[in-house]
Amino acid sequence: MSPRAAWRLESLGFKDVYHYVPGVADWAAAGLPLEGRAAGMATAGEAARQRTALCTPGDPIRKAASRAAEAGEDSCLVVNDEQIVMGRLYYKDLEASAGAKVEEVMDPGPSTFRPNVPVVEIAEFMKQNGLKTTPITTSEGRYVGMLHLEDAEELARQQAAREG
Amino acid sequence: MPEKIDRNRLQELIKGGAQVLDVLPEDEFEEQHLPGAVNIPLKELTAETAGRLDKGRPVVAYCYDYQ
């Protein structure tokens, strides 16, 4: 629609016209501020914890296991130098051969959510799928934080209390 | 010819005083929109409604995504 709108504006005499094709979905997924009814809702980006166990694809498994243990978590998120999420190692993977590299064992397609998604929605999804944590990334796949179910549920409760 | 832009360019244009036009239906606009955006649904974009915009300033049109 935005290209058609832009051409329409030109036909109406506007000279300096642009169109932002990725739209509000892209803007919201980048965690940028919004206005409107949804702007007041608690979102995944707000609830996510920034500190979590991270490792790189080339790391040995024992390093990832050590990171997870230090963080008190049962998984390790795999990111590259640009903080793009490349995969995830779960508890069962951390017990794999100490000589293996992360990229040989990791799940290369972990489920992620965007920062703008309301926590109420994600909490429900996580409960239904038995997830204790889920990574939050931008639309480019860049790591934002790790959302814990307990945090999502707490924020959802606070939001419900505010809405009365 | 209108120029297709990305998020970074949009932010530059906004800083420079560009107008932002949301062409989605009103209820979708009310749900969420970019800060300061003007709402003129595409079906209602006429010479009259476009009068809410300043022809002397840049204007960026957007909708939800790649629709």
pLDDT digits (tens, 9 = 90+) for B8-65: 999 999 999 999 999 999 998 998 899 999 999 999 999 999 999 999 999 999 998 7
Q: How far is the C-alpha of A31 from the C-alpha of A28, rounded, in Å?
A: 5
Exposure b/e, A3-15, CB count within 10 A at least 16 = b: ebbbebbeebebe
Residue B67: pLDDT over 60: no
State the DSSP code for A151.
H
Q: How far is the C-alpha of A104 from the C-alpha of A106, rounded, in Å?
A: 6
Residue A102: pLDDT over 60: yes
CB contacts, 8 Å: B37 with chain A:
35
CB contacts, 8 Å: A18 with chain B:
2-5, 9-10, 13, 18, 58-61
Q: Are strands B19-22 and B38-39 parallel, antiparallel or unpaired?
A: parallel
Indicate the pTM of the whole model: 0.67
- Please, which residues have CB within 8 angstroms of residue A156's CB and are 6 or more apart in sequence? A42, A119, A120, A123
Which residues of A make CB contacts under 8 Å with B?
Answer: 1-10, 12-28, 30, 32-39
Interface probe for A, chosen from B44, B63, B64, B67 (most Cβ of A below 10 Å), is: B63
Does the beta-carbon distance from B6 to A22 stay under 8 Å? yes
pLDDT average, residue stretch A117-139: 89
Write down the residue that tokens 């995944």 correspond to.
A44
Predicted local distance difference test score (pLDDT) of residue A54: 94
- Best mean pLDDT range from A49-53, A123-127, A133-137, B11-15: B11-15
DSSP A52-77: --EE-TTSBHHHHHHHHHHHT-SEEE
